[in-house]
Structure 1
Amino acid sequence: MTVTGTTDATAAAADGDGDGDHCGRLLTALRRFREDNADTARRWGTRLAAGLGAGGRLLAAGNGGSAAQAQHLTAELVGRYREDRAPFSALALHTDTSSCTAIVNDYGPDELFARQVRAHARPGDVLILLSTSGASTNLLRAAEAGHAAAAEVWALTGPAPNPLAEAGDESLCVAAGRAATVQELHLVAVHLMCDAFDAALAAAPGGTTP
């Protein structure tokens, strides 16, 4: 497991900057993100290009605002980020309402994502799990299912240490003391990944053809 980012104590200190205003906190956290996390996000995008270009799939999951971030990422890969290119296989696991409600009804909320991972994940796939707290049981269960399926598990979380960061093969932990700021920087990470993804495809032999 590889964890990049800083600790809860560092995040709490950063959260006090900027005269207590939202933009000030975001700017402080963004500076730290650029130093500590941006390279990891770009590296993940490059690796996704290789894996999905070889026929792998991205599975993504999160709760609440993190679900929106997961869906944003998969939409950029199935659609496009900036320039037109081939589509790639990427699924946000909260979007199939019939499956989600059936799973929660029959197996309980902790199995919401894990059962879908067991259904869809294969060796060579990537499972990315997004959480501001890093403590959501349904995501921790999904990480276990991802490992069992021999998929690579990446955790995109708030400050380390947290259980989800420990459960990932690799983790990117954002140092920010408030969930809103963490989510905003997760979106920055998503866009850095997409930018690196497209750049890697363009540089590969054959251009953007998977």
Structure 2
Amino acid sequence: MMAARASLLARLTASIEAKQALLSDQDRIATFEAVAEAVVAAYKAGGRLYIAGNGGSAADAQHLAAEFVSKLARDRASLPAEALTVDSSILTAIGNDYGFDKVFSRQVEGKMTAKDIFLGITTSGNSRNILEAVRSCRKLGVRTIIFSGHHGGLVAKDADYCLLAPSNVTSTIQEIHIIFAHALCECVENAMFPLQST
């Protein structure tokens, strides 16, 4: 099973290299800080977090929404967050009536206000339905965050914030996105529910 060993070692090496690249990239770290501040500001203004993605990124959207609504690491009040990927009736109705490109933008138009914040997860940055959602957010005055990879794709120029995983490999990009997601939730938890000093 040398092929299995080689595959595992290659994936581990790619993951480590991407994380090391991120550690030394001050611009990306500064973008992450700005993203965390934007999400905290939205919550403090009474807004909600809406998250969307396709395929594995849809699962990541649900994962992150769960961390905000339940908890990440410690007990605290619930934070309102919703993945726009979970209602099969809405998804199939919009897909059937307007096309798959509109499955998130129609939800943005029906659910979001300027107090809210949108997070789109797209490894390529070229997912048409994420791009359409960001454009709908812009019309509504909703702040937008994108987690992407490569060079950010088409959506990078339209989003308020674009956090890029330093990789061109989908699986490695997805690993970095989970790091972004967990770190974001931790930052928001700490800002919204500061630990009481004793």
Is the shorter-chain TM-score for this pair beyond 0.5, marking a shared fold?
Answer: yes
Question: Which ranges of structure 1 fall in alignment gaps of 5 or more residues?
Answer: 1-18
Q: Which has the higher contact order (CA 8 A, sep 6+)?
A: 1
Q: Which residue of 1 aligns with 2:99?
A: 108
Q: 1:183 aligns with which of 144, 165, 174?
A: 174
Q: 2:78 aligns with which of 78, 87, 98?
A: 87
Classify the secondary structure of the residue corresponding to 2:121.
Answer: strand
Classify the secondary structure of the residue corresponding to 1:82.
Answer: coil
Q: 2:21 aligns with which of 18, 32, 38?
A: 32
Q: Which residue of 2 aligns with 1:140?
A: 131
Residues 149 and 166 in structure 2, CA contact (< 8 A), matched pair in contact too = yes
Paired amino acid for 2:102 = E
- 1:62 matched to 2:53? The reply is yes
| CA distance, structure 1, for counterparts of residue 33 and residue 186 of structure 2 | 8
| CA distance, structure 2, for counterparts of residue 97 and residue 76 of structure 1 | 21
With 107-116 and 44-53 compared, the bigger mean Cα shift is at: 44-53
How much has 1:42 moved relative to structure 2?
4.3
Classify the secondary structure of the residue corresponding to 1:23.
Answer: helix
Q: Which residue of 1 aligns with 2:153?
A: 162
- 1:99 matched to 2:99? The reply is no
How much has 1:49 moved relative to structure 2?
2.5
State the TM-score, normalized to the length of structure 1. 0.84
How much has 1:20 moved relative to structure 2?
7.2
How much has 1:39 moved relative to structure 2?
4.4
| CA distance, structure 2, for counterparts of residue 177 and residue 115 of structure 1 | 30
**Which digits, 9 at most, give the CA deviation of each residue in 1:139-168, with x for residues without a partner?**
111111111111001111002151111110
Residues 114 and 145 in structure 1, CA contact (< 8 A), matched pair in contact too = yes
Paired amino acid for 1:182 = I
Q: 1:45 aligns with which of 36, 41, 44?
A: 36
How much has 1:46 moved relative to structure 2?
3.8
Question: Which ranges of structure 2 fall in alignment gaps of 5 or more residues?
Answer: 1-7
Q: Percent identity?
A: 34
Q: 2:11 aligns with which of 9, 19, 22?
A: 22
State the TM-score, normalized to the length of structure 2. 0.88
With 153-162 and 88-97 compared, the bigger mean Cα shift is at: 153-162
| CA distance, structure 2, for counterparts of residue 187 and residue 67 of structure 1 | 12
